[in-house]
Structure formats: C-alpha cells, structure tokens
C-alpha cells in the first residue's frame, strides 16, 4: 500500500520505537533508506547473545538478531552527519523523500542544521517524524529516555507484577514498540493529510506520552474516581475470574468475562453449584469475593494437566489459553496457519538463511511483503550516491574523508 513512498530512516540504537516504526512502513511497501554512522553503524548491530556465536559466519561482525528484528526491508547507507558534506548529501536526499524519521534528542537536528525548518524549506511536502524520551518541550524534554525508564516513570512498572511483589518489567519493550506503533500511524495520517493539502508537517512523539496513553482504564479510574491501581499479577482488577491458574504441570489462563461464560465454566469443571452461589451471582459479586473464587478454582485446576483441561475446554466457547514457552509458540499450529515465520536467503548466516517474523495484519488486496533481508552496513551507499549523480572517484574521496 505504500509503494512509491520514500522514507529516510535516521533512527538507531536502543530506542527501537523508531526502527520499529520504519520497518512497519517498509513492510507496507515504502522504500526505506537507513542512514547509519560510518563508524560501526547502528549500535544494535553488535548486540549479540551468547547463542548467536554459532549462527553467524566468523567474518560477519556487523549483524545481530537484535538488529535483524527491526531492520528488514530496508536499505543501508553510511553518512557522517557531523560533517558538512554528509549533511549536504542528506539534504539532497530530502528533496525527493516523503518522510524523515529520527530519534535524536530534541534540538539536535536543528543544531546540526537539518531540522524541520531546513527540511521543509527544501521540500515543503516532507513529513518529519521525531520520537524521543519525553517530547520536544516540557521540563524533561532534553532528558534521555529508554523503554524501561519511560515504563517506570509513566506508571507501567507500578501496576505490573504480583500483588505483594516488587514492580516488574515486562519481558519485551512494550513501551518502545507501542510508541513505534503510534508513530507509524501518525506518519500514515500525515501522508493522508498531505494528499488533501499538499503540505507536509512535523510529528513529535515520545515514549513518556505513549506510555501515559497506554494507561487507558487505569488512567480513567484515577482521573475520574481517584482510584489508585495496584499490581494484580495475571489477574484483572474488575473481572473475575480472568487470570492464570496453575495446573498439574504448567499454567492456563481462563477468562470468564460475563455471566454466560462463568456459567459455562462452572459446567465444564463440573461445579454448577458455583453458578448458583449468591457470592458469585454476577461479576460484581465475584470481584467482591475474589479470594474465595480464586481458592476454589486454584484447587480444581491443579487436579489435571494443562493439556487435559484444554481438551475439556476445546470447542466450548470458553475463552482460554496455555502460557506457552517460546518454543511452543513457534510450533503452534496457529503460528504456521497465519504465516508468522518467513525464511530469507542471508549470506551472513552460517546456514545461509534468516528466519524472520511475518506481518501480523493481513490485507485482502495490498499484501505487505518481506522483500529484503536486513542490510549489511552501508550495503547500498554507492548505488544511492550514483543515483544522486556522484562519480566513483567522488565516492572514494568521501570514504577517505570519513564522510561515508
């Protein structure tokens, strides 16, 4: 759907919200050119786990699984933006671009002479999307911000974890990735607006604001009722039962979100008496008697294995699901049925291929595609400069000067 849209990706390092945003745009067909520092490129290229030593060829030291996670379908060009010649090349690229995305500290691009005022002066239709820890203004605007910091300061860690336990960080960078989702949606909205007005615009997003927005019902309860949220583990503050229960061999999540589902659950576990108990007559009663409800279900669920309970629940209409390990996720029949894993030819890998995640949204007409494997550092520099009219001799001189 974004075929023909050109994106200059100036995002990098730990804050994956920017690269995640541009990868989504790339999956949707945009031509994304990743601009990297000639001295090593994006830091995430070096972030390998111990297990990765066996999957990359010994002479391939500029690639990692972390980098590959958020940089497929992109081209890579090295460019030193600290040098005037490097900035001049960027501005030449901006002339024919549609979108620029960066995650510099606010004000840094203006300081370098490549801020929105300069970019829009060259290309009035340019959309310049910037993402940072705290946004372009406010008392914390110039503070560095990463996922865990924003998750802490904007409340997520306060409400995550066991009831009587310490704050717990989610297993993934949810604040980072959610910000990338917000940002890609904003870019699409700006592109749609440009179709009507012909004008580009500046987009300013932040980890902090995204996480505040994600507080959703927790925020509404505080803002309107003064209710301070607590940590609930896997349970839900206003729906019972809706949580993980320990089985004989692992864990199973059950979600009876209305009376019909609760009555169905009681039938499936052969405890219709619970559905008739005034203490559990409706959801408000079950919330009030949460502990009693939990103790009863804890004892029942422990009597069988997860697979045995799944056999009982299958086809019933009762919402349920096991807590799967990562290996079980990728052997799951639904993962295969929805094409959530793709293999790409990849020279840096010992086996010659790279497995990547599929697109989670399916289109009936304009199908997103995985066209390019994650790029090697500067893989497309020379071709890009040729398109701008630079000769091979000029390119070699710029390499020697550290511009490329």
What is residue 56's DSSP assignment? B
Q: Is 176 a catalytic residue?
A: yes
Instruction: Please give the angle made by the CA atoms of 300, 303 and 307, to the nearest 5 degrees.
Output: 105
User: Contact, 103 vs 15, CB < 8 A?
Assistant: yes
Using DSSP bridges, classify how beta strands 320-322 and 251-255 pair: parallel, antiparallel or unpaired: antiparallel
CA atoms within 13 A on the CB side of 98: 20
User: Contact, 93 vs 388, CB < 8 A?
Assistant: yes
Query: Could you tell me the two tokens for 134?
Result: 């705290």
Catalogue the E-assigned strands of 121-182. 127-132
Chain centre distance of CA 70? 9
Can the peptide bond before residue 398 be classed as cis, meaning omega within 30 degrees of 0? no
- SS3 state at 45: helix
Q: How far is CA 86 from CA 34, 115, 186, 380, 401, in A?
A: 14, 15, 28, 16, 10
Query: Could you tell me the two tokens for 126?
Result: 């340019």
Tell me how crowded residue 21 is: count the other CB atoms within 10 A of its CB.
Answer: 30
Using DSSP bridges, classify how beta strands 74-78 and 127-132 pair: parallel, antiparallel or unpaired: unpaired
Beta bridge partners, 321, equal: 253
Q: Of residues 176, 249, 277, 327, which has the active-site annotation?
A: 176
Query: Could you tell me the two tokens for 236?
Result: 């839900």
In angstroms, rounded to a whole number, what is the distance separating the alpha carbons of residues 125 and 103?
A: 20
Q: Would you state the torsion angle of the CA atoms of residues 328, 331, 336, 340, taken in this order, to the nearest 10 degrees? A: 50
Pinpoint the alpha helices (H) of 198-235: 207-214, 216-225
What is residue 158's DSSP assignment? G
Q: What are phi and psi of 96, to 5 degrees?
A: -110, 10
User: Contact, 187 vs 101, CB < 8 A?
Assistant: yes
Catalytic residues: 176
């Amino acid at each position: 759907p974004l075929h023909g849209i050109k994106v200059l990706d100036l995002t990098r390092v730990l804050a994956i919200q920017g690269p995640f945003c541009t990868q989504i745009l790339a999956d949707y067909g945009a031509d994304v050119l990743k601009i990297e520092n000639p001295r090593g490129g994006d830091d995430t290229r070096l972030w390998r786990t111990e297990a990765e030593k066996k999957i990359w060829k010994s002479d391939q030291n500029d690639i990692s699984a972390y980098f590959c996670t958020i940089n497929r379908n992109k081209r890579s060009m090295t460019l030193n933006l600290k040098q005037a010649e490097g900035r001049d090349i960027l501005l030449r690229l901006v002339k024919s671009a549609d979108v620029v995305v960066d995650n510099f500290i606010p004000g840094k691009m203006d300081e370098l002479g490549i801020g929105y005022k300069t970019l829009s002066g060259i290309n009035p239709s340019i959309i310049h999307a910037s993402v940072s820890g705290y946004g372009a203004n406010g008392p914390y605007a110039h503070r560095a911000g990463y996922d865990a910091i924003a998750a802490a300061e904007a409340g997520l860690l306060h409400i995550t974890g066991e009831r009587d336990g310490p704050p717990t960080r989610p297993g993934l960078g949810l604040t980072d990735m959610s910000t990338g989702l917000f940002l890609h949606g904003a870019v699409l909205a700006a592109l749609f607006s440009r179709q009507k007005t012909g004008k580009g615009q500046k987009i300013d997003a932040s980890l902090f604001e995204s996480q505040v927005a994600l507080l959703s019902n927790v925020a509404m309860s505080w803002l309107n009722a003064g209710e301070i949220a607590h940590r609930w583990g896997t349970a839900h503050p206003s729906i019972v039962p809706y949580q993980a229960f320990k089985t004989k061999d692992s864990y199973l999540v059950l979600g009876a979100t209305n009376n019909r589902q609760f009555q169905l659950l009681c039938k499936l576990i052969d405890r219709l008496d619970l559905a008739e108990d005034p203490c559990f007559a409706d959801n408000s009663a079950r919330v009030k008697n949460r502990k009693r409800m939990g103790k009863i279900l804890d004892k029942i669920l422990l009597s069988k294995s997860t697979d045995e309970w799944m056999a009982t629940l299958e086809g019933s209409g009762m919402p349920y699901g096991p807590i799967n390990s990562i290996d079980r996720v990728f052997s799951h029949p639904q993962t295969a049925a929805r094409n959530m894993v793709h293999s790409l030819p990849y020279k840096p890998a010992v086996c010659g291929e790279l497995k990547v995640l599929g697109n989670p949204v399916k289109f009936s007409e304009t199908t997103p595609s995985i066209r390019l494997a994650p790029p090697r550092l500067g893989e497309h520099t020379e071709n890009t400069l040729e398109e701008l009219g630079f000769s091979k001799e000029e390119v070699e001189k710029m390499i020697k000067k550290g511009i490329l």
